[in-house]
Amino acid sequence: MRAWGPGADWALDAFPQLVGAHDTEDGFDPGTGVVADLHRRLRGLRIGRSGAVMEALVPSILEQKVVGLEARRSHARLVRALGEPAPGPGVGTLVVPPSPRVLAATPSWTFHRAGVERKRADTICRACSYAARLEETVDMAPDDARRRLTALPGIGPWTAAEVAIVALGDADAVSVGDYHLPNQVAWALAGEPRADDARMLELLEPWRGHRGRVLRLISLGAGAAPRWGPRMPLRTISGQ
């Protein structure tokens, strides 16, 4: 295995956690129903831990209140506009995401050209100005990490959970406030086509401690809930 650039040693040390080598299913009982079947079929599922809080937080903020395609498009535009060429043999083809320092100093009109309105842009800049404090959450207990993240204006339970499952490897993280997730959970576990957050949490309660793991299993192996209404529209505010 090889790595390049200033973060090469860190990347090599962090790689086992990134691919879930240290993930444990201690205390996880899939039961005998849908979750047990998903667990059997997706035996190789592991909860990884990137240890890179800001690299998970910025895309999560971009996903607030918009569809995933729009958020990914905005993120790609920001990376191309503000990132730097990645070191190593892929020079010229890969781009490293912009650092928190760069994002914190980025004017609002640059975000606007990437399709990001002022509210999310301000949240990103604010979070990046506290990057050192937020990165400390990798060494905190899950509840303490969540409190540190949500203490920042603009970062709520949904965003904190999205960061926790990716950067912190929190197998119990639940993205409360998600547009589709309650319906998907209720459809998979109870055959109910519609649900709210309270019902989702009720259905997930038997797996407390591993609710994020169950959500991953459902997302990867269970079908989506029936869709009866119109899809959320893609918005364009950049003028491009």
Mean pLDDT by 10 residues, the chain (240 residues): 89 94 95 96 95 97 92 96 88 88 97 96 98 97 96 97 97 94 97 97 98 97 82 60
**Residues 177 and 157: beta-carbon distance below 8 Å:** yes
Domains of the chain with bracketed CATH: 26-45+175-221 (no CATH), 53-167 (1.10.340.30)
| Tens digits of residue pLDDT in 14-23 | 999 999 999 9
Identify the helix (H) or strand (E) that includes residue 113.
helix 108-113
pLDDT reported for residue 227: 83
62 token code pair: 């971009």
Look at residue 235 in the predicted model and tell me its pLDDT: 63
Residue 143 token pair: 């509840």
Give the H or E element holding residue 180: none
Q: For residue 231, what pLDDT is reported?
A: 62
Per DSSP, the three-state class of 95 is strand
Give the sign of the dihedral formed by CA 190, CA 199, CA 156, CA 161.
Answer: negative
The distance in angstroms from the start CA to the end CA of the chain is: 41
Distance of alpha carbon 126 from alpha carbon 118, whole angstroms? 12
What pLDDT shows up at residue 65?
85
